[in-house]
Structure 1
Amino acid sequence: MPVVNQIEHKREILMTHLDMVAASKALTEPVQIIRPAEFHYRQHADMTLHRIHGQRRIGLYDQAKKEIIDIAECPLMSAELREWYQKVREMLPSIQFGHFRVRVAPDGKRGIWLDFPNRVLAWFLEEERFFKRLCLDALVQIGQQHTQIGNRSGSLIHQDTELYPWSETYTGKNLKPRPLFSHVGAFSQAMNKELMKLVHDAVGSCLELKSWIELGAGCGNFTLYLASLQKPVTAVEMYPLALCGMKKSLEVSGLLSWVEIIKANFHQPNKTLMNVFQSANAGFGMLMDPPRSGMGAAFFTSIPDNSLPGAIVYLSCFAPSLARDAATLLKRGYQITSFKGLDQFPHSPHCEWVVVFRR
C-alpha cells in the first residue's frame, strides 16, 4: 500500500477495534494522525537472525506469514545506523537462530547486544575471532545478563557493564534535548521530537494536576520530561537495567530530586503498586506506556475509586489492547478528551497512539 494511503488505513484499523468494544462512541472528534517530519530518525534496531532451509534471514517476524522477513535496509534508520547495521549483517556468524540489537549514539559510538543461545555464545567466546572483530567497532554486550566483552591487547576480557547515553529525550516547555543513559540491550522507546510534542500537549492539557505517577518508566524517556515540569513524579519500573539508566539520566540532567523511583511489577496488581496509588496526593495524573499486551482490566479494576488518577496519558503502539483498556476506563467513569497518533511505523498496521482520559 502506498505510504500516502496508510494513515487512513491505520485509522480504520483503530476504529474497528474501538467499535468491537463499543468505545468509538466516546470520541468527540476525529482521530488525528501525524506523520513524522522525516523518517531517518531511528538510532537503534532490534532484529532476528534465522537460518531456514539453508537460507539466512535477518529481519523482523511477520505474524501473518509466520516467518522472518529479511530486511536489508529500512527507511526509518538514520544513515549512521544503516551503515552499522549493514556491517553487522556481513559480520554475523552462520547460526540457526538468535536476536540482536544495534545502536548508534548521538556522538557516533556504536553498540551491539547479542541475545544468542548460551552454547553459541560460549563457542564464539572460545573461538574469539568474531568477538575480537566486533569489539574493534563497537561496545559489545551479550546474553540475558548483558555481560560486556572487551578486547585488551588482543585478548577478550569481561568488563563492567557500561551505561552510555545511547539516545536523547526532551524536557521543559522548549523540549530541550537531554542525554538518556542505558545499556546497549536495554529497551527504549523510538523517540523523536514529534512524539514528545504529542506527550507535551497531552500533559499540558492537565496543568492543574499536582503530581504524576508513571508506569513503565523504562530508561526515563518521559520521566525526565515530567520531572522538568517541577512537580513530584513517582516512576515505576520493574527491570533493574532500566532503573539504573533512568537514575543516571536524572542525575546528569539535575532532575533526580523531583522523582521517586519505585521497583515494582506494573503488569499486574500487587501490594507495592497499590501503595503507590494510595499514598499519592489528591489531584495526581498518570502516564503509562505499557507493552503490546496493554494493562488489562484486572489492573484498572483493582484501583479503588478514591485512588484513581484525575487524568491518564496513555501511550500505545497496539490498537487491540489500547481499545480493550479504553473500554475498561470508560466503564470506570473516564472520558476521552484527546486521541492522536504518530505514524512511526510505515508499511505496518501500527501507529504510536497518545490518548488522554479524564474523570
Structure 2
Amino acid sequence: MRDRLDFSLEDGRLGLYHKSRREIVDLQTCAQLSPELQEWLTEFRKIQWPFTKGSIRLRVGPQGQRGVWLDFANVDIKTLLDEKSILQSLQEKAFVEIGQRRKVPVWTGNEYKLRDPELHVWFQTWMKDRPVDLYCQVASFTQPSLKANKIICDVINGWIGSFPQSRIIEFGSGIGNLTLPALAAAESLTACEIDELSLEGLQKTLENLPPSLQSLREKIQIHRGDFQKKLTKDFSQFDGVLANPPRSGLMNFLNPLEELSEGQRPPFFIYMSCFPESMVKDLERLQKCGYSLEEFYIVDQFPQTAHFEVLGLLQRKKT
C-alpha cells in the first residue's frame, strides 16, 4: 500500500504515462494506494486546473495529515498564485508546496507570497518496534509505503545488530530513514549526504527525538558533500558501510575502499537499491575487494511493475 503518489497532469488527465505511448492514462483509482491516499486522490481530482501540464505528488503522513507538492512551470505557478481560489481550496484540505524549491504559499490578505520550505513529519522510520517521526518536505525522497518501510528498517537493524559495537559510515543518508535503525544497533555512525534540505530534516529529527533516545545524538556525525565524486573519509576507520545510493550507484564513493589493502577494509557492507542495474556493477567491484554476498532480500514495494527494493548484506572474506 502506497502512502505517496507521484503522477502527471496533461490536458485535463491525471495519471501515469502509458507503457507504449507518450500520453497520460487518466487514473481515477489505484489498487496500490492506501485507503487514506485513495480518498485524498479522489478529492484532489475534482480540481479544474487553468493550465495543461505539470507534475504532482500527493502524500499522507503517519498521523493521516495530507500534503501536496505542485511542480509546475514558473508561468503556471504565477497563474496559480494570481488565480487564488484553487490554492485557497487546497490549503483547506492539505499542506501545499510549490516548485522545485519546495516553497510554501502564504496568503497575506491581498495576495499569495512564497516563503522558504518548511519541515514537518511526513514519514516515519523504526528503531526496532519503536516508530520515530522523520521531518522533511512533501517533496522529499522517502520510501513509498509506511508499512513496507517497517520491513526494511527491521532488516537493517537486525543486520547491524549482528555486528556488535560497529562503527558505521552511511552513504546517502537522506532524511535519516535508515540512519536511525542503524544507529540503534551501532556504536557510532557517520552520515554522508549531498542534499542540504534532507540534512536539515535529519538534524530536526535528531533534535526532536524522545527523551529516552536523546543519547543517540552523541553517536552520530553528519557530513555534507558529493560523495559520489570524492570521499575524504578513510574507510579503515569503520567496521561497516551502509549505502542507499541514487540510480547511478556508488560511483567514486568506492575508490577509497579499493585503495585499501584487503585487511583494512570494513568487515561488512550493507547495500540497498531500487535500481538493480547499477547495484550489480557495484557488487562486482565489491567482490573484487574481497566481499561476498551473504544475505539478500527483495521487498516488492511496486507491485505490478518491474521495480523492487533490494537489500544485500556482504561480508569481507577473512584472510
TM-score (norm 2): 0.87
Return the alpha-carbon distance in structure 2 between the equivalents of residues 212 and 358 of structure 1. Answer: 14
Select the residue among 262, 268, 275 that pairs with 1:318: 275
Contact 1:292/1:317 (<8 A) preserved: yes
Return the alpha-carbon distance in structure 1 between the equivalents of residues 70 and 243 of structure 2. Answer: 29
Return the alpha-carbon distance in structure 2 between the equivalents of residues 322 and 358 of structure 1. Answer: 16
Q: Deviations over 1:23-51 (max 9, x none)?
A: xxxxxxxxxxxxxxxxx3x3222222223
Give the fraction of aligned pairs with identical amino acids, expressed as a percent.
Answer: 33
Higher relative contact order (Cα pairs below 8 Å, separated by 6+ residues) = 1
Using the TM superposition, give the Cα deviation of residue 157 of structure 1 relative to its aligned residue in structure 2, in angstroms: 4.0
Aligned partner of 2:63 in structure 1 is 107
Aligned partner of 2:193 in structure 1 is 237
Q: Which deviates more from structure 2 when the two are superposed, residues 102-111 or residues 338-347?
A: 102-111
Contact 1:277/1:308 (<8 A) preserved: no
> How do residues 68-107 of structure 1 correspond to structure 2 at under 5 angstroms?
68-91=24-47, 93-107=49-63
In the alignment, structure 1 residue 185 sits paired with structure 2 residue 143: no
Select the residue among 334, 340, 343 that pairs with 2:291: 334
Return the alpha-carbon distance in structure 2 between the equivalents of residues 149 and 59 of structure 1. Answer: 25
Return the alpha-carbon distance in structure 2 between the equivalents of residues 264 and 346 of structure 1. Answer: 34
Return the alpha-carbon distance in structure 1 between the equivalents of residues 54 and 165 of structure 2. Answer: 45
Contact 1:150/1:158 (<8 A) preserved: yes
Q: Which deviates more from structure 2 when the two are superposed, residues 62-71 or residues 255-264?
A: 62-71
Return the alpha-carbon distance in structure 1 between the equivalents of residues 225 and 24 of structure 2. Answer: 34
1:309 maps to amino acid: P
Aligned partner of 2:81 in structure 1 is 125
Contact 2:71/2:100 (<8 A) preserved: yes
Select the residue among 241, 244, 247 that pairs with 1:289: 244
Return the alpha-carbon distance in structure 2 between the equivalents of residues 290 and 218 of structure 1. Answer: 10
Q: Matched residue of 2:286: which SS?
A: helix
Using the TM superposition, give the Cα deviation of residue 315 of structure 1 relative to its aligned residue in structure 2, in angstroms: 0.6
Return the alpha-carbon distance in structure 2 between the equivalents of residues 230 and 285 of structure 1. Answer: 10
> How do residues 145-224 of structure 1 correspond to structure 2 at under 5 angstroms?
145-151=101-107, 155-171=111-127, 174-190=128-144, 191=146, 192-205=149-162, 207-208=163-164, 210-224=166-180
Using the TM superposition, give the Cα deviation of residue 291 of structure 1 relative to its aligned residue in structure 2, in angstroms: 1.6
- Decide whether aligned partners of structure 1 residues 194 and 210 sit closer, same or farther in structure 2, where only a CA change above 3 A counts: closer
2:225 maps to amino acid: A
Q: Matched residue of 2:121: which SS?
A: strand
Q: Which deviates more from structure 2 when the two are superposed, residues 320-329 or residues 299-308?
A: 299-308
Using the TM superposition, give the Cα deviation of residue 67 of structure 1 relative to its aligned residue in structure 2, in angstroms: 4.3
1:341 maps to amino acid: I
Q: Deviations over 1:140-183 (max 9, x none)?
A: 11112211113465753444532111111001xx3310101101
Unaligned runs of 5+ in 1: 1-39
> How do residues 262-273 of structure 1 correspond to structure 2 at under 5 angstroms?
262-266=223-227, 268-270=228-230, 273=231
Unaligned runs of 5+ in 2: none
Using the TM superposition, give the Cα deviation of residue 310 of structure 1 relative to its aligned residue in structure 2, in angstroms: 2.1
Return the alpha-carbon distance in structure 2 between the equivalents of residues 46 and 186 of structure 1. Answer: 12
- Decide whether aligned partners of structure 1 residues 246 and 88 sit closer, same or farther in structure 2, where only a CA change above 3 A counts: same
Runs of 4+ in 1 over 6 A off after TM superposition: none
Return the alpha-carbon distance in structure 2 between the equivalents of residues 209 and 328 of structure 1. Answer: 27
1:290 maps to amino acid: P
Q: Deviations over 1:52-102 (max 9, x none)?
A: xxxx33233456545444332223322111111222222151533211211
2:250 maps to amino acid: M
